[in-house]
Amino acid sequence: MRQEITADDYVIRVHADPEAIDASAWDTLLATQAAPTPFMRHAYLLAMQRSESAVPDTGWAPQIITVEAAGMLLAATVLYLKSHSYGEYVFDWAWADAYRRHGLKYYPKLLGAVPFTPVPGTRLLAGSDALRDLLVQVIHQLAQSGKLSSAHVLFGDDSDRAAFERAGWLLREGVQFHWTQDEARPITDFADLLSRLQRDKRKKIQQERRRVGEQGVTFTVHEGAAIPTALWDFFYRCYTLTYAAHHSTPYLTREFFAQMQSTMARHWVMFVAHRAGAPIAASLVAIDPERRAAWGRYWGCTEPLPCLHFEACYYQPLAWCLANGYQRFEGGAQGEHKMARGLLPVRTGSAHWLRDERFAAAVADFLASEGQGIEQYVDELRERSPFKAGETPQP
């Protein structure tokens, strides 16, 4: 089912299923954006749907906007009607609770995001500011016509932020921790990276890595189509154990990873820990071979050992990135502890519209205060750089 609106010479459609959209046209448009990521590829979004990971029954009802003219896809964005706030990583539980306490419905809301994926990148796929502005207008129209409480677009790029700012949306900032190659003095390998860290940080990493080795743990690295189904099965077992340890339910189904293996294998690298001849842990990293970027995504273990998480999720991927000429490694959402391992603070952004003017004003006040706190927090973090004086990477 889809909705269709004609605006001037454009045909604007709202799709309930990514399968209704031409995959080649979508990926071609994505490739022209300032910050494309594999998580916005058609195959990734379709896998979310086909695997029943992000579908209406799990609280994610797709509302994908496309803008066409003369049969050509000119602009698009991914939206979902959400009946909860799980799997978003930009927390609005307090806003929902405030609505509830005043007898108002916060859900469903309209969300622009990649499900369960806190990776910054372009959200408004468009070739001009005018088309981005049109997408923002359509998002607003959808929220208004559906009498929704609010609309939110998460982890957008600078051009997205500018479009929402022009439309008067509320802007929010967050912080993640990324490693970026030093363009002025490129880091050659993991030993070179360690040499640029402050002595206490370097010693701690060396101690952690030595401890993993002393427990008899070794690693193998498996890339793309060379990852066998048996390892995907083992990885998924580890992935579910991570959720079980936190008394929660996995967001992604085994079928989702089967789809990744069959349609997007080249975008994945798996690091597998072995002990006494058997696998005991795995971490899965997404990659963009063209843009030389990597993203730490999932991990788990069958045998918890001290320091194993740091080795599997940071040291092994960073060493691989350096060995393969990658320029960026993003460690995922939150986690100030990542700084001690060479990842530095990076601002992220989101945009928000709330129908109720009273709540919008209250949220605006909150975001102004929160933004000042984020500013101070980032300044403090930068003063605590793990790198030696003069060695902080300059991307």
The total of other beta-carbon atoms located within 10 Å of residue 193's CB is: 24
pLDDT of the residue at 200 = 96
pLDDT surpasses 60 at 373: yes
pLDDT of residue 391: 85
Residues 6+ apart with CB under 8 A from 154: 88, 89, 90, 111, 112, 113, 118, 123, 350
Handedness of CA 297, 302, 304, 305 (dihedral sign): negative
Q: What is the pTM of this model?
A: 0.95
Give 24-55 pLDDT, tens digit per residue: 999 999 999 999 999 999 999 999 999 999 99
Asked if 2-168 and 178-344 have one fold, the answer is yes
**Predicted pLDDT of residue 153:** 98
Task: State the average pLDDT for the chain.
Answer: 96
pLDDT at 9: 82
Structure tokens at 200: 């206490």
pLDDT of residue 370: 96
Which of the four pLDDT bands, split at 50, 70 and 90, describes residue 393?
A: confident
* pLDDT for position 6: 52
pLDDT: is 335 or 10 the higher one?
Answer: 10
Please compute the mean of the pLDDT values over residues 316-325 and round it to a whole number.
98
How do residues 80-111 score in pLDDT, each as one tens digit? Answer: 999 999 999 999 999 999 999 999 999 999 99
CA distance 234 to 217: 17
Residue 45: is it exposed, middle or buried by C-beta count within 10 angstroms (0-12/13-18/19+)? Answer: buried
Q: What are 149-190's pLDDT values in tens digits?
A: 999 999 999 999 999 999 999 999 999 999 999 999 999 999
Counting every residue written for the chain, the total comes to: 395
pLDDT score of 276: 96
Q: What is the pLDDT of residues 336-367, one digit of tens each?
A: 899 999 999 999 999 999 999 999 999 999 99
- 2-168 has which fold? Aminopeptidase (3.40.630)
Q: What percent of the chain has pLDDT over 90?
A: 93
pLDDT above 80 (res 75)? yes
Give pLDDT, residue 3: 60
Give the confidence band of 5 by pLDDT, cuts at 50, 70, 90: low
Task: Indicate if the pLDDT at residue 2 is higher than 60.
Answer: no
Q: What is the residue-wise DSSP string for 122-164?
A: --SEESSHHHHHHHHHHHHHHHHHTT-SEEEEES--HHHHHHH
Strand partners, 4: 13
Type of residue found at 353: W
Q: Is the pLDDT of residue 395 over 80?
A: no
Q: Has residue 232 got a pLDDT over 80?
A: yes
Closest to 328 in 3D by CA, of 315, 339, 338, 343: 343
| Residue extents of the structural domains in the chain | 2-168, 178-344
For residue 1, the model assigns a pLDDT of 44
Which segments within the chain are labelled E, that is strand? 2-7, 10-15, 60-62, 64-69, 72-77, 80-82, 109-112, 125-126, 150-154, 170-180, 217-223, 268-275, 278-288, 293-301, 328-333, 344-354
**What token pair was written down for 234?**
């083992």
> Can you tell me whether residue 246 is helix, strand or coil?
coil
More confident residue, 332 or 181: 181
Distance (Å, whole) CA 391 – CA 194 = 11
Residue 352 DSSP SS3: strand
CATH 3.30.428.10 fits 178-344, yes or no: no
Q: Quick one: average pLDDT of 245-264?
A: 96
